[in-house]
Chain A
Amino acid sequence: MRRVLIVEDSNAVRTFVRGALEDEDFQRAVGGFDVLEAASGFEAMALMPRGPFACIVTDINMGDINGLEIVNFVRKSEHHRETPVVIISTQSSSRDIERGLSLGANAYLPKPFSAVALQDVVRQLVAPGEG
């Protein structure tokens, strides 16, 4: 089973994102995957070896290891370099978003986003190959 990693320090947002990605219709459409959650950049780093991931969804505004650093790490990593990354953030400054995209993130969704919007973005990024 393929995996999607959510990196987000808010429980409620993680629950929301998981709900959107585990939606039955959506799973059927994209071929199905497990959802892994990381509540911080560090947790995400600890989960990295458990990849490959079909997609990584990350917040930017987190303490210690921020989302930009996750994007940077993923793009430089031999194993994860090809993994699509979606940034979800309410950050008021567009500078950080631009920075994230220039570091190699594939898409950016400003919060609040709808479950459908997230599903659309992930569907486009996840190669529909196996499903």
Chain B
Amino acid sequence: MADFGSESSEKKEEFFSEAQEIVDGLGKFLLDLEGAVAASRVDPDVINEMFRAVHTLKGIAGLFGATRMSGMSHELENMLDDVRMGRLDLTSNVIDLLFKAVDLYTHILLFERGEAPDPQQEIAKLLASFAAVTQPEEAPTSNIFTQFDLDPGMFGVLTEYEEHRLKSNIESGLALFRLRVRFNLTVLDTALEDLKKKAKPLGEIITYLPAPSTDESDFENLELDILMASKSDAATIDTTLSVEGLVVNPVKRRSGGGPPPKAAAAPVSKSPLPKIGAPPSLPPPTIAGPARLPQDLAPESHAAHGAKSVRPAAPAHAARTSVAPQAQGQAGQFVGKSAAQTTVRVDIRKLDRLMTILGELAIVRSAVGRLAERLRGSVEHRELGTDLHRLHRTFERQLGQMQNGILEVRMVQLGPVFDKLQRGLRAISREYSRPVNLVITGQETEIDKLIVEELSDPLMHMVRNAFDHGIEIVEDRLKVGKPEVGTIALNAFQKGNHVVIEVEDDGRGMDPKLIIASAIRKGVITEDESREMSARDAYRLVFMPGFSTKTVVTDLSGRGVGLDVVKTNIAKLGGIVDVTSEVGIGTKMTITLPVTLAIINVLIVEIGGRSFAIPLASVEEAFVYDPSLTRNVEGREVLSLRGQSLPICHLSSLFQVDAFDDASDSTRKFYVVTVAVGIRRLGLLVDRLEGQQDIVIKPLGRSLKSVHGFAGAAELGDQRVALVLDVAAIVEEVLAGDQSRFLAMAGEGRA
């Protein structure tokens, strides 16, 4: 375990946080890389980014004494160095090893935190596999740079990698250019990103050289000397980049100054494997000669850079020719490094504190609002009340903006979670030799950071479940005319105040009859209960504790965790899971989650003289209760509403508080609040509707932890406290809690 000695826990946290971020980033790069290899279109930038990431990991692991991590990083760095320098081909074997390394990193990090056993053996095993694939070939040394009239001053500051990229670009017959540009320091970030994005389709930028300014008292601008390889000409580069004050100078080729480009001699198709960045079609390399240069663009200023004589500074280990320059990289996809530098990492607890303060402010706002109303109602203070009311409105608006701002900060995209799922699925798919494709949509959907953190385990379980119980083995798929490769789709989208995530497979589907039979066999339900079960009721059985339709428990889904745990965990986040399925077609599980857990908008209702809050996100509508529209179905009250039956729940009797009057007293009005969780709806009968309000929900505390049906409590701003209904739990308890009554409903949502 890492010995942090006297290092403060803050530094330690910084280490874990950065290491985790890098490991996650590696995983993402790797998925991109795998796709790119499959499409024979590998961007050398991706490899280099991965190399740099591992390099950084090694650095920080070393500093913080995480020896397992620095040891593995060292080997991984060497391997990636071989790949980026073209000494090692990106075989599927290599990619597999990279995936394993990323998984192992996660394990190592857990170990360093003291939450997992020592992964020493796994590391040793992986390093042995590294050694087996890396047998770097001795690269031929050549001095291709003498072809170009390159400024030795510029040449001398290239790192080994940059030199390698330069070389492989020259070998592929691309021309070199020096771009001179001046940026204002205040807009450097954006100007540079813009430049990179535009330059990407034209070729590769080898390096950026900050030019010592002629006028050093100029503190506002930075002059850059950029070395770029491109297949376009200077004029095209100039117009494409369209940067004010840009000067593009071709680097002169020397007549007879060196061997012709070697790309023609080294056939790219030698190996069936895709080469990094190998352009699909390169222009035939031209024999170097001055005739190729647009003479009118030949730089006047060139001599000023001191390019009188080229010192052939041959690199000690020049690389093989296999890494060709990128021709048409997917523009701008991997240039976002400096974008990350404009972000700040914030402890979520700090945001929580801000949110709490904001919540108290919201309560103050409500109180002020009520005060304004009272003043407006009184004769002598009406004017004052109107003024206060106006102020209150401004306060309200700005508070709302601030609330949205803070909420926005808490929001993160689902992408990283989905990436993790993809890696996980990839691993099990290979392990079981059952090919499956994960199709992801909506990875940009945003959700509360706290929810995201709790989401990856349940989602992984659902994906595994889809793989294990859904996707058939290849022979079975072919037999029924399905494509060999199964598909699991992961779709996310926002729907009002909820985020919906669907896990859908094109596997064998679920047969309600088999589920019911299995449930009876396992004693989950009785034969009697099963008689009236609809298909949907049957699907829900898979969420019952200890349920599994497979007789053999596999090590995939059978980790002692059933779908019931998934359901419980999702419910803890205020979400619900629904299932639909069709035999032979596939199964779809749908998770519906609230967008955020922090501040909620509620409907305040009164039951038996007490106030309760119902999260508005779950409220569909409210209307006056009309007893004549209800009927009794096996002891349960059901209301017919627009052709659908809505089960009614008398909250006063559920909570055992005394209602003002008996509900049967037809002279009194009652209200029905229709709540919906996913596709399930329930009508809650309340005495009175009070209004809407934003509240900060507070937990009930340890002593009341066992009380079900309430998500917490909230202050209402006038010294009143209201219990907040846990709608998901109530719907669950009322509709499914009592099986026999629930079953009598025969699917409450249907007409």
Residues of B whose CB lies within 8 Å of any CB of A are 7, 11, 14-15, 18-19, 48-49, 52, 55-56, 58-64, 70, 77-78, 81, 153, 156-160, 162, 185, 188-189, 192, 207-212, 216, 219, 222, 315-317, 337-338, 341, 345
Contacts and interface: CB of A to CB of B under 8 A. Distances in A.
Contacts of A16: 11, 60, 63-64
Given A12-B15, A19-B11, A92 B77 contact: yes
A117 to B, nearest CB: 11
Interface of A: 9-13, 15-16, 19, 39-43, 45-46, 49, 60-66, 68-73, 76-79, 90-93, 95-96, 99, 102-103, 111-113
A65 B208 contact: yes
B148 to A, nearest CB: 19
Contacts of B58: 90, 111
Contacts of A112: 59, 61-63, 70
A39 B339 CA distance: 11
Contacts, number: 133
10 contacts: A11-B14, A13-B63, A19-B11, A40-B338, A42-B188, A65-B208, A69-B209, A73-B210, A79-B216, A92-B77
B189 A111 contact: no
A96 B160 contact: yes
**Which of B207, B212, B216 counts the most chain A CB atoms within 10 A?**
B212
B212 A77 contact: yes
B78 A92 contact: yes
Contact of B55 (A73, A79, A90): A90
A39 B343 CA distance: 12
Nearest to B7: A19
Given A12-B64, A66-B207, A111-B62, A103 B156 contact: yes
A95 B189 CA distance: 30
Given A13-B59, A15-B11, A68 B210 contact: no
B252 to A, nearest CB: 23
Given A79-B216, A95-B315, A11 B18 contact: yes
A40 B209 CA distance: 13
Contacts of B192: 42, 64
Nearest to B62: A112
B128 to A, nearest CB: 20
B157 A103 contact: yes
Given A62-B52, A96-B160, 8 more contacts: A12-B63, A13-B60, A40-B337, A64-B192, A66-B207, A72-B156, A95-B316, A99-B157
A41 B60 contact: no
A13 B52 CA distance: 14
B739 to A, nearest CB: 54
**Which of B78, B157, B208, B315 counts the most chain A CB atoms within 10 A?**
B157
A78 B210 CA distance: 14
B666 to A, nearest CB: 69
B55 A61 contact: yes
B335 to A, nearest CB: 9
A69 B207 contact: yes
A125 B61 CA distance: 27
Given A40-B337, A46-B188, A73-B210, A78 B216 contact: yes
Contacts of A40: 337-338, 341
